[in-house]
């Protein structure tokens, strides 16, 4: 009986301590830290819109964006900041070139002073970085990869990945780019021949950039790379849906619908990545290859092997998988949007479209552009700079 009382007492103390810590962390995270940051910024003359408790300025941002995008654009032009980011325009007019707003409980500093931005990028690039909330929101589909790394970790990861993006290495990817583009154009041509006359061109561009990255990142494991891409896209959507709910301390451990789906997708992505990595390691062990490969994954694995022999910065399989996931998102989405915007501009400017087509036909003699011919496409270069 006495032993049971002692056990119950210990459990009660542990439960009360845990509950007290949870309450204290919540108050500290949601009230005390935001208040301290707000007061600190005000003393430096940096002000901004008044935040609501817990949600910050998110509701105002959503409301302003909904109002600005409710009607179609009156024409195609590049001046879209006021339409897509109306809160930035409103707050910069009210509070100046430097202001602070709140994304939930997290402050965001908006800077439009070019000299100050240059100073941050050159002198303080190892100090600035992604916040805890940003890291938590994307940790399942990019993890601790380069996109979310800070300080010295960012510096070392950037150094490790840099060889994959050197000029000679990028030139070696051109064959993959041409092959994937031909496949995309052929699928469009087949749709035209079948009678279809309207296309969601953004979907084609997304598939194109995803195919190119799957080949350059995983080479012979291209098909598994495409599977990983589709899983990561689903994972990103689930994480975005989950982030719309308030994230109380410890809530990520609750077995909610979103958490279960996120965990299942993440597990499948990592399983496919480990299969690709293990096949590379097997080829090395049986002597079929002298390195892990020349694609991005091979470069990361080769670097891991070097670090294992005495490097200062430790890189492990988890970090390699995070880097692979990161470069899928860093590479495909921005490029797909740029290509879509370019096609739309050409479609709405037939005169420029014909000029570019004539130049390509003249320089390339009706064939596929080669690396040596690209510098000769002056109009295409001007178009890229303009966009």
Domain extents for the chain? Answer: 29-71+78-124, 158-346, 349-387
| Per-residue confidence (pLDDT) for residue 1, from 0 to 100 | 61
Sign of CA dihedral 52, 29, 249, 320: positive
Does pTM surpass 0.85? no
Name the superfamily (CATH) of residues 158-346. Answer: Cytochrome P450 (1.10.630.10)
Q: How far apart are CA 382 and CA 287, in angstroms?
A: 49
Tokens 């991005």 correspond to: 296
Residue-wise pLDDT tens digits, 2-39: 666 667 677 776 777 766 666 666 666 667 777 787 88
Q: What pLDDT, on a 0 to 100 scale, did the predictor assign at position 63?
A: 92
**Burial environment of residue 353 by CB neighbours within 10 A (0 to 12, 13 to 18, 19 or more):** middle
Q: What angle do CA 329, 336, 198 make, to 5 degrees?
A: 135
The pLDDT value recorded for residue 60 is 92
For 220, the token pair is 């012979």
pLDDT, residue 372, reads 84
Contact assessment for residue 51 and residue 101, using Cβ atoms and an 8 Å cutoff: yes
Q: What is the pLDDT of residue 199?
A: 84
Q: How many other β-carbons are positioned within 10 Å of the β-carbon of residue 131? A: 14
Instruction: Say how many C-beta atoms besides its own lie within 10 A of residue 174's C-beta.
Output: 14
What pLDDT is stored for residue 216 in this prediction?
Answer: 81
**What is the number of other CB atoms lying within 10 angstroms of the CB of residue 157?**
24
Question: In the prediction, which pLDDT does 212 show?
Answer: 87
Residues of the chain scoring pLDDT < 70: 1-6, 8, 13, 18-30, 124-137, 220, 242-255, 287, 290, 307-315, 386-387
Helices 201-218, 174-193: axis angle to 10 degrees equals 150
Question: What are the tens digits of pLDDT across the range 221-265?
Answer: 777 777 888 888 888 777 777 665 555 555 555 667 777 888 888
**Residue 73: per-residue pLDDT:** 82
Q: Which tokens go with 363?
A: 């320089």
pLDDT value at position 282? 80
- What does each C-alpha distance from 24 to 14, 17, 27, 152, 251 come to in angstroms? 15, 10, 5, 31, 15
């Amino acid at each position: 009986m006495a032993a049971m009382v002692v056990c119950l007492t210990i459990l009660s103390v542990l439960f009360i301590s845990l509950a007290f810590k949870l309450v204290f962390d919540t108050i500290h995270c949601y009230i005390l830290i935001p208040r301290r940051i707000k007061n600190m910024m005000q003393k430096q003359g940096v002000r901004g819109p008044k935040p609501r408790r817990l949600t910050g300025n998110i509701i105002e941002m959503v409301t302003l964006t909904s109002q600005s995008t409710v009607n179609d654009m009156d024409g195609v032009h590049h001046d879209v900041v006021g339409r897509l980011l109306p809160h930035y325009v409103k707050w910069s007019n009210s509070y100046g070139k430097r202001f602070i707003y709140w994304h939930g409980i997290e402050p965001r500093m908006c800077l439009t002073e070019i000299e100050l931005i240059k100073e941050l990028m050159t002198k303080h690039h190892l100090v600035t970085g992604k916040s805890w909330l940003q890291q938590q929101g994307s940790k399942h589909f990019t993890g601790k990869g380069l996109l979310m790394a800070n300080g010295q970790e960012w510096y070392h990861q950037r150094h490790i990945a840099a060889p994959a993006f050197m000029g000679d290495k990028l030139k070696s990817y051109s064959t993959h780019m041409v092959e994937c583009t031909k496949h995309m154009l052929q699928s469009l041509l087949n749709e035209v021949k079948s009678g279809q006359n309207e296309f969601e061109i953004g979907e084609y561009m997304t598939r194109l950039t995803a195919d190119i990255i799957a080949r350059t990142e995983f080479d012979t494991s291209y098909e598994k790379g495409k599977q990983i891409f589709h899983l990561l896209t689903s994972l990103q959507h689930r994480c975005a849906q989950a982030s719309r709910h308030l994230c109380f301390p410890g809530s990520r451990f609750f077995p909610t619908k979103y958490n279960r789906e996120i965990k299942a997708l993440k597990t499948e992505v990592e399983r496919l990545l480990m299969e690709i990595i293990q096949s590379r390691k097997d080829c090395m062990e049986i002597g079929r290859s002298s390195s892990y490969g020349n694609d991005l994954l091979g470069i990361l694995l080769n670097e891991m092997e070097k670090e294992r022999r005495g490097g200062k910065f430790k890189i492990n399989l988890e970090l390699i998988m995070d880097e692979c996931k990161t470069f899928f998102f860093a590479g495909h989405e921005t490029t797909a949007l740029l290509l879509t915007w370019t096609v739309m501009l050409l479609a709405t400017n037939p005169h420029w479209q014909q000029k570019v087509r004539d130049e390509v036909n003249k320089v390339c003699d009706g064939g596929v552009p080669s690396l040596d011919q690209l510098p000769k496409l002056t109009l295409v270069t001007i178009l890229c700079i303009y966009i």
